[in-house]
Every structure is written in C-alpha cells, then in structure tokens.
Amino acid sequence: MRGSAIGGKTRICGVMGDLVAHSVSPAMHNAAFRELGLDYAYLPFNVGADNLGKAVDGIRALNLVGMNVTIPHKVAVIPLLDEVDPQAQQIGAVNVIHNKDGRLAGSNTDAEGFLRLLEGHGINARGLRVVVLGAGGAARAACFALASQGAVITILNRTADKAAGCAREMAGNTGCTFEALEMNAANLARALAETDLLVNATSIGMAPGADRSPVNSELLERRHTVVDIVYNPVKTRLVRDAEKAGAVAIGGLDMLAWQGALAFERWTGRAAPFDVMRRAATRAVRSYEE
C-alpha cells in the first residue's frame, strides 16, 4: 500500500475467521506492502460459521486478491473452493485462498511455516516423541510437518472422536502412525511423561484468555521442548510455565510470520520482506498487551 492511501486501484487481501479482533496479520501484511511500495491493503473480516459460504462467494464477487483463513474455518472451507493444492489436501486444511481470475485456489502455508519455526530454533524432529494438542487445521499442519521429519506423534483433543479422525486421516495421508487420545488430565500426564516435544495447536491461552494453559505446569519438565503456536500474547502462560520448568519454550510469532510471508508471495508474486513482517507482528502483539 502506498503510504496510507486506499484508492480505486488498491488490491484487497484479508483474513477471515470467527475471532479476528486480536489478529496482527493486518499490521504484518500492510507493513510488507508499504516496504515494497505495493498498492495493496489487508483487512480483517469476522465471519461466523453460518456465513462462511457467503464470505467465500464474496471473494469472487468483490474481486479480492485472496484471504487468509483462520479459526474455525480451515477445514470447513475446503469444499467451497474451486481447487485445493495436493499438500493442502493431504493436510486436510486450507489457510490461504488465492483468487485466480475468479477461481478460488486453496493452499496451506501453516505446515511450511511450522517447519521454518523448528529450523530457526535448530530443532529436527526425526525420531522425537511428539504430543500435539488439538485436531483442527493448525494441528493438522503441525502433524504433517512433523511427520515429514519422521516424528512419532500422539494427538490429544478434548473430543476423542475428533482426535481419532485426525489421526486416521493424517496416517492415511502421510504413511506414518499416529496415536489419538482424549485430552484429559490422566492422558496428558501419561503422554508428557514419554514425550520430547509438546506442541499446543489449540487456541487455549490466546488473548483475551491469556491466563489459561492447556497443560498443568506440574507436568512440564526441563527435558521438554514446548512450542505454542498461539502468538498473542508473545509469551503465553504455557510458554512462561515451560520456561519456569527449565524447558526450551517457543512462541508462535515465527510461524505466524513465515506462513504470512508465504501467503504474501502467492498473492503478489514478490519475495516477502520476512524481517519487516515479523517486526510488525511483534509490535502489534505488544500493543495489545499494553
């Protein structure tokens, strides 16, 4: 976006979800557009489940460039699109829609974003025992990324049937074996006693519920590595509890910035200014915390 002006030629992207009031994606993408002098703007759209189909039709009708898809629509949006790339089909979730002359193409940049987060912190998941909390779109992306590195994965979700369904689909699509458990105190204690890496792929701990954690702090140990894909706040309660236990603890900002950078490149055809996007995302989260 050139300066702060939005005109008739400005191209519009955005994010749609049911909880976008605290999204920092607008700040992140608009900073990138300014950096490259692109006449684009990125806006948040709060979309309930009942209006998802209308919102997808609106992308075509309004000739929007594209849309990020977030909680809770990453799985439900798939049948509404004209095409979905093979990796997103394997993951079973879409977080990026690109409007290609009226045809809506779905893809997934969460998995690659998660891998780049791991790489940036020197983590190779091959052979690691991993617990993934959640069975939605973000969890599926994390599971796909981890399976590609040869991790041994247990999925825990509050709804046991959903955990089992996710495990079954991910096993079929990756050729890896997944264990599925209901997310309760007993199963968390058993799973974490045997795990190396814990990934929170739920929204628990996200602002405005930043005082919550999906895991009792007493279960966290120094030997654990903890990744919380929640990025707002920068340090969730889970991350803070893990740090107190002496564990390696990583928040979700890097994953957010990487998945956003990859989406930016799909929409614009330009290399994304990753450092600019990460700094803008960090500033935006800090402003919410103040």
- Catalytic center residues: 74
* Chain centroid offset of residue 102 CA: 26
CB 125 within 8 A of CB 149: yes
Q: CA 34, 235, 178, 222: dihedral to nearest 10 degrees?
A: 140
Partners of 257 in the β-ladder: none
Q: What's the length of the chain?
A: 290
Give me the numbers of helices (H) and strands (E) for the chain, helices first please.
Answer: 10, 12
Q: How is 249-261 classified by DSSP, letter by letter?
A: EE-SHHHHHHHHH
C-alpha distances in angstroms, 73 versus 56, 164, 231? Answer: 11, 20, 19
C-alpha distances in angstroms, 92 versus 45, 54, 76, 193? Answer: 23, 21, 10, 29
C-beta atoms surrounding 125 within 10 Å: 22
The residue written with tokens 């849309």 in the block is: 67
Query: 134: which 2 tokens?
Result: 């959640």
CB 198 within 8 A of CB 133: yes
